[in-house]
Amino acid sequence: MRKKARETNGQSVVMRLRQAGLRPTRQRNELADLLFRDGNRHLTAETLHAEAVNRGIRVSLATVYNTLHQFTHAGLLRQVMVDATRSYFDTNTVEHHHYYYEDDGMLADIPGTDIDVGNVPDAPEGTKVSRVDVVVRLKRS
């Protein structure tokens, strides 16, 4: 039986890719399946590539990088900066904040009630806020 097209924010991924002018190729479809199959994920290009290869999906690392960037530009993913040496991609694109486990380099959404960030002064002249990121860094205790 044919796999049902996955949905994100109501629209199918294929639809959103088309709108971004991206062809739904085998690689992009299979990566999208991996990415959006189970809930919110935080992963790096190398992690995703390993997982794909592991499941028998044939795709190059270059394509994984390309795809992650394209999905990000299409608004399907969001890039999170918490570690100077790795770039994380987040399948949760609604506004939310993160725990970063410094010891094992894991990233997770902060659950429950939203964090309030108050008292942020106006953006300086000539700029506008593109995003406010809150990262709670955790250490094993």
Tokens of 121: 């002064």
Distance CA 88, CA 41 (A): 10
Stretch that binds Zn ion, among 54-62, 63-71, 108-116, 130-138 (CB under 5 A): 108-116
Q: Taking the CA atoms of the chain, what radius of gyration do you get in angstroms? A: 17
Binding of Zn ion by 77 (CB under 5 A): no
Q: How far is CA 128 from CA 8, 9, 38, 82, 116, in A?
A: 28, 26, 34, 22, 20
Per-residue contact flags (x/-) with its own copies for residues 54 to 83, judged by CB under 8 A: -------------------------x-xxx
Binding of Zn ion by 12 (CB under 5 A): no
**Which position among 30, 33, 51, 109 is part of the footprint of Zn ion (CB under 5 A)?**
109
Residue 61 interacting partner from DNA, Mn ion, Zn ion, none (CB closer than 5 to 8 Å by kind): DNA
Stretch that binds its own copies, among 5-13, 26-34, 57-65, 128-136 (CB under 8 A): 128-136
**Residues 4 and 29: beta-carbon distance below 8 Å:** no
**Residue 56 corresponds to which amino acid?**
G
**Residues 35 and 48: beta-carbon distance below 8 Å:** yes
Binding of DNA by 87 (CB under 7 A): yes
Rounded to a whole number of angstroms, the minimum distance from the CB of residue 75 to DNA is 16
Residues that bind Zn ion (CB under 5 A): 90, 92, 109
